[in-house]
Structure 1
């Protein structure tokens, strides 16, 4: 349960400045957005051909991209590669190592990330040497 504060006039308000009804509406919208994103992820896992209908690319988390690209590496052509963080790339490569040549952030990986990847994919050493 979210914490509420009492205002001088007796109305309740959340610390964000939203009224209870506004906060409830926001909570419902966020829940629907998360459910919609989740449905798109499941749909795209089932049928990548639906990708051009999806308008939620920027809402997908690194974990979402990891799941999508692990099962459908062809979606890399529509993934916002330049917008994916080093952490996102780590998740993607740990699930779909064949995409290593598409990664534009390998030079940002620290020793901890490299060692973790090398534990499962020793052949990544050739890419580490290039950085």
Structure 2
């Protein structure tokens, strides 16, 4: 979420809040579910998997979404664990390491990353329950 806020700052969903904390503390003010860019602000990964990022938020819905993803996808690569994901992909496809060599582009340096307080992390988890 912190990375999305920084990277997609020019999108409608993040244009007005100055800080991620402002967005999280006032989502009713800043977040518009009908905005074309709303997926950047809520359940971004779920949308990538084909789910409605503004869909129902219930334990039953989450369980159905998880079951659906497990049926549809044999392997899901996670960008935060990109190298590890490539190893899993290599093994699943019976490829060699040469097949999965990559050159990292657009990677944020550690100096631009910030540690988020526990309270902020909880707000992010709450907002992105389906993810």
- Name the TM-score class by shorter chain: under 0.3
TM-score of the pair, normalised by structure 1 = 0.28
TM-score by length of structure 2 reads 0.28
More helix by share: 1
Larger Rg, first or second structure (1 or 2): 1
